[in-house]
Amino acid sequence: MPRDDGKKLSLPHQAEGTAFLRANERAALFDEQGLGKSKQLIDAVAAEIAHGGMAGALIICPNGLKTNWGAEIESFCSLPYAVFGAGRSARRSAFGSLRAAFYVINYEAVDAELPSLRALLRFKPMALVLDESHRIKTPGARVTKAVLQLRAEAKRRYIMTGTPVANRPEDLWSQFLFLDDGDSLGVTFEEFKTRYCATGGGYKAVSDLRDRVSSLSMRRLKEGTVDLPPKQVHRVFVDMEPRQAAMYDELRNELALWVSAMDGTQVLKQAEAILARLVRLAQLASNPALLDAAYGEDSCKLVALDALLETYLKSPRQKVIVWTSFTDNVAAIKLRYRDHSPVTLYGAMSTPERDDAVRRFRQDPEVRIMIANPAAAREGLTLTEANVAIYVDRTFNLVDYLQSQDRIHRISQTRPCEIILLLANASVDAFIDFSLEQKHRLAKYAQTDSDEIAPADLALAKPDVLRALMWPEGNVQEGTG
């Protein structure tokens, strides 16, 4: 088995991925989360430096992963690196020495440092690497525009993510524009949509899309690539408490009346507002105190969580991750289980606070629970000290769900993993579950994970459950939903 720069052994698929990157100046490494994409990239860059092919790499990553990248570089090679700190003066210090082989900066800082980053890429022949490249999926976002302005200066361009289709096939366009200036998927977003988006919603020519994506990318799934313990998903259905159910029904009925007055065109125009109200329903199903501070009862999901934690934490060495999409829930759950010394991960935490929380969860036997927000902790972390992840709630964000569950199911995990989904009966949870599964099926086809796709998924057909959620039984409106 090949060695990587005299330090850690490469698995066969990692050696193959490193060779793929070295052989292509523009390439996408789309391995499923947990297969060691960072190692493959570091090995490829180190090998090219050793052979005189380039001087290093500028790695753009989510802010919470900068420390992780430093640790990975130290683990896999002996080359110098510089991590851009928070704030302008701290970022300036990273430019103090041009001897580094790796430079690591977060997406949000690129816009402020464009002139300096351009100068760096012009001064040294380097690869420009986008880690978790789905972060530039939104064409009009400031971060996307800033990153795209850098691409012309790079000797090589690489993108890496385990979820290239973060929520929908349109997410691919910006990532591939970065790679090949529009040769594969169109020079403009409108060109992409004309080619692949069907009139009235849904998708067309997706087989052509996946062929174009696969021509520049390498993707391996954990199944069949590495020998990992099995992962099982369990759905636990619970009944809402009486007051919780009454609050939920009131908000649902208000939404139903509002939407029933719209025609199809108005529904499309109001899609974001409707989605926001559906998320409010998800909050009520999770914990009514998120919307009403006066709510003093235990929600059905917290009661169910009590029982689950009591069962799993009987073993003194067992650790559990509790996921919630709502930041206010993080604090409430932490207080509820304070006897287990829980740590938290959410967006407002500083990098040192995040690093300390991860360290304590991994190393401190007294810390039994991590309570985390997927949007803030879904990427780059290895948390295999736990093999149980409980989702108190979820939103419609596919990448949050897929990436977060694989914090525990990845290389170094030795125990079977359990993913537990708490679903409130007669609530929007069923529709969220359906929507995530539908998005995942479409993503798997576009990413070449599967070879078949149902016409209903291409058309984004919705199930009858949505109508039942929006319009109370016996009051269903014809022509709506």
Residues 214, 256: one domain? no
Could you report the per-residue pLDDT of 308-355, keeping only the tens digit for each? 999 999 988 899 999 999 999 999 999 999 988 999 999 888 888 988
Q: What integer pLDDT is reported at residue 319 of this predicted model?
A: 95
Q: What integer pLDDT is reported at residue 99 of this predicted model?
A: 85
Q: What integer pLDDT is reported at residue 259 of this predicted model?
A: 75
Residues 292, 211: one domain? no
Buried/exposed 102-132: b ≥16 CB within 10 Å, e otherwise: bbbbbbebbeebeeebeebbeebbbbbbbbb
Question: Per DSSP, what are the bridge partners of residue 217?
Answer: 28
Distances 333 to 339, 371, 440 between C-alpha atoms, Å: 11, 7, 29
Residues 440, 413: one domain? yes
**Closest alpha carbon to 25 in 172, 175, 148, 129:** 129
Residues 161, 248: one domain? no
Contacts with 37 (C-beta within 8 Å, 6 or more apart), sequence order: 17, 29, 31, 131, 160, 162
Number of domains in the chain: 2
Q: What integer pLDDT is reported at residue 475 of this predicted model?
A: 39
Q: What integer pLDDT is reported at residue 255 of this predicted model?
A: 85
Residues 50, 123: one domain? yes
**Cβ-contact 216, 23 below 8 angstroms:** no
Residues 197, 327: one domain? no
**Does 55 reside within a domain?**
yes
Could you report the per-residue pLDDT of 234-260, keeping only the tens digit for each? 999 999 999 999 999 999 888 887 877
CATH number at residue 367: 3.40.50.300
**Does 22 reside within a domain?**
yes
Q: What integer pLDDT is reported at residue 266 of this predicted model?
A: 67
Tokens of 282: 């998800």
Q: What integer pLDDT is reported at residue 93 of this predicted model?
A: 63
pTM, entire model: 0.87
Provide the CA 314 distance to its chain's centre, in angstroms: 31
**Closest alpha carbon to 437 in 284, 282, 233:** 233
Residues 200, 245: one domain? no
User: What 3-state DSSP class applies to 185?
Assistant: coil
User: What 3-state DSSP class applies to 377?
Assistant: helix
Which residue, 168, 195, 218, sits at the end of a domain?
218
Provide the CA 456 distance to its chain's centre, in angstroms: 25
Residues 189, 49: one domain? yes
Residues 210, 287: one domain? no
**Does 94 reside within a domain?**
yes
Tens of pLDDT, residue by residue, the chain (481 residues): 333 344 567 899 999 999 999 999 999 999 998 899 999 999 999 999 999 989 999 999 998 889 889 999 999 999 999 998 765 655 566 666 668 999 999 999 999 999 999 999 999 999 999 999 999 999 999 999 999 999 999 999 999 999 999 999 999 999 999 999 999 999 999 999 999 999 878 999 999 999 999 999 999 999 889 888 999 999 999 999 999 999 999 998 888 878 777 666 666 677 778 788 889 999 999 999 999 989 988 999 999 999 999 999 998 889 999 999 999 999 999 999 998 899 999 988 888 898 899 999 999 999 999 999 998 877 778 899 999 999 999 999 999 999 899 899 988 899 999 999 999 998 999 989 999 999 999 999 999 999 999 999 998 877 655 555 655 444 333 333 3
Q: What integer pLDDT is reported at residue 444 of this predicted model?
A: 95
Distances 38 to 57, 175, 178, 189, 401 between C-alpha atoms, Å: 12, 18, 19, 29, 21
Distances 177 to 99, 155, 216 between C-alpha atoms, Å: 30, 16, 12
Residues 46, 166: one domain? yes
Which residue, 218, 251, 284, sits at the end of a domain?
218
**Does 97 reside within a domain?**
yes
Residues 282, 214: one domain? no
Full residue range of the structural domain in which residue 154 is found: 3-218
- Distance between CA atoms of residues 170 and 102, nearest Å: 31
